[in-house]
Amino acid sequence: MDPSFLIPAPDPIPVNWFFLQFLLTITTFLHLVAMNVLLGSACVALAAPLAGPDEQTGPLCRKIGEKLPYVMAFTINFGVAPLLFLQVLYGQFFYTSSILMAGYWLAIIGLLIVTYYAAYIYHLRYEDLGPVRSLLTGAIVLLLVVVAFFFCNNMSIMQLPESWVRYFSGGRGWQLHFSDPTLVPRFLHFIASAVAVGGLAIAVYYEHRRRQGDGSGERWIKYGCNWFTIATLINFPIGFWFLGVLPSFAHNATTLAGKLFTVSLYGSLALAVISVIQAQRHRVYPAVGWALGAIFFMTLAREFVRIAYLNPYFSLADLPVAPQYSPMIVFLIFLILAGTLVWWMVKTVFFAQEVK
């Protein structure tokens, strides 16, 4: 069966596709940063007891527990916007893939609710949990990993319409795409990135406290930087594995998408190396800047790969446009206001001496 017959017709968009693609890229970047901090810091909290007894690692785990509910709230809220822009630009692909794996996709809501509750229990009942604390942390990490795996599957099914024909052979609503050779390395690449950024986030928090006059976190600055370095170095071979199994058309230098992907890839690699060097010098803020640059370039590379995958069936330039500029202007105004409010909340939650 020709999969092109299964692709619904696209809906008109209110403005030029480039503007929406720009917003999709920016909001995806913000969501990835928040998600990495959430999953990565939870992984660090899970592994922290291995670094020493509770008397030594307890303060770090307790501090991570205080921040987890807030970080999860930011992650979920930052994830709404890119999903909306994804639906506007690629709705005919995204809605189809979501239906094909509807059972797993709808389960994400329940999994996130349970994770949210678990994060609050970890925060509010930290002292009472005792030895159960590690089990709860493990459950939080496991739930987040499962959610991430479902997201990776959806993106895989979405950009491979030829896999949609499996719907007719059974498993309706429960389709996962294990036959995609890029699924596992892509998933592991995101997990390793999350662990790296989680470690760096811990270093940032204690570096900020150190600059405020609190010298008790020097150990955790080094600890977070080491987590970032080790996870990033592990991620390099995973990334090359991912690159090796990508189809040739995804990085074909004769196409514009392939050229832009190559530039983004090399840019992210260069910035990642610089960020590791800065982290090992314990220059936390410069390391963060270079790491954020690397994540942004990888976000761009992700978009170019999607464009290359869908190129046989679809082009963004072919989307019909029904101009409606006034709603977009209102949206931009509220986006700026919301961004200002979110930045204030971030500073209040993560950098204030005390949050009441």
Residues 55 and 93 in one domain: yes
Residues 262 and 123 in one domain: yes
Q: Which amino acid is at 41?
A: S
Q: How far is the C-alpha of 225 from the C-alpha of 220, rounded, in Å?
A: 8
Closest C-alpha to 312, from 255, 260, 262: 255
Mean pLDDT of 10-20: 92
**How many angstroms separate the Cα of 17 from the Cα of each of 7, 13, 25, 31, 298?**
19, 7, 12, 21, 21
Residues 208 and 288 in one domain: yes
Mean pLDDT of 313-339: 88
- 306 HSE (CA, 13 A, CB side): 21
Residues 105 and 179 in one domain: yes
Q: How far is the C-alpha of 157 from the C-alpha of 173, rounded, in Å?
A: 12
Residues 263 and 339 in one domain: no
pLDDT at 280 over 90: yes
Please state the domain count of the chain.
2
Residues 114 and 255 in one domain: yes
**How sure is the predictor about 299, in pLDDT bands with cuts at 50, 70 and 90?**
very high
Q: Above pLDDT 70, what percent of the chain?
A: 96
Q: What is the pTM of this model?
A: 0.92
Could you report the per-residue pLDDT of 29-66, keeping only the tens digit for each?
999 999 999 999 999 999 988 777 766 778 888 999 99
- Beta bridge partner(s), residue 13: 321
Q: By CB neighbour count within 10 A (0-12 exposed, 13-18 middle, 19+ buried), where does 275 fall? A: buried
Residues 206 and 230 in one domain: yes
Residues 136 and 285 in one domain: yes
Q: What is the mean pLDDT of the chain?
A: 91
Q: How far is the C-alpha of 234 from the C-alpha of 238, rounded, in Å?
A: 7
Residues 240 and 330 in one domain: no
Closest C-alpha to 141, from 15, 278, 42: 42
pLDDT at position 111 is 97
Dihedral angle sign, alpha carbons of residues 50, 75, 182, 154: positive
Residues 218 and 344 in one domain: no
Residues 333 and 292 in one domain: no
pLDDT at position 212 is 85
pLDDT at 234 over 50: yes
Q: Which amino acid is at 142?
A: L
pLDDT at position 170 is 73
Number of H helices, E strands in the chain: 10, 0
pLDDT at position 350 is 62
Mean pLDDT of 251-279: 93
Within a 10 A sphere around the Cβ of 216, how many other Cβ atoms?
A: 10
Q: Considering just the CA atoms, what is the radius of gyration of the chain in Å?
A: 21
Residues 6+ apart with CB under 8 A from 47: none
Q: How far is the C-alpha of 138 from the C-alpha of 76, rounded, in Å?
A: 20
pLDDT at position 355 is 41
Domain ranges, residue 346: 326-356
Q: Which of 109-118, 169-178, 188-197 has the lowest mean pLDDT?
A: 169-178
CB burial string 97-131: b at 16+ within 10 A, e below: bbebbeebbeebeebbeebbebbebbbeebeebee
Residues 122 and 234 in one domain: yes
Could you report the per-residue pLDDT of 137-177, keeping only the tens digit for each?
999 999 999 999 999 999 999 999 999 988 888 767 888 88
Q: Are 148 and 190 in contact (CB under 8 A)?
A: yes
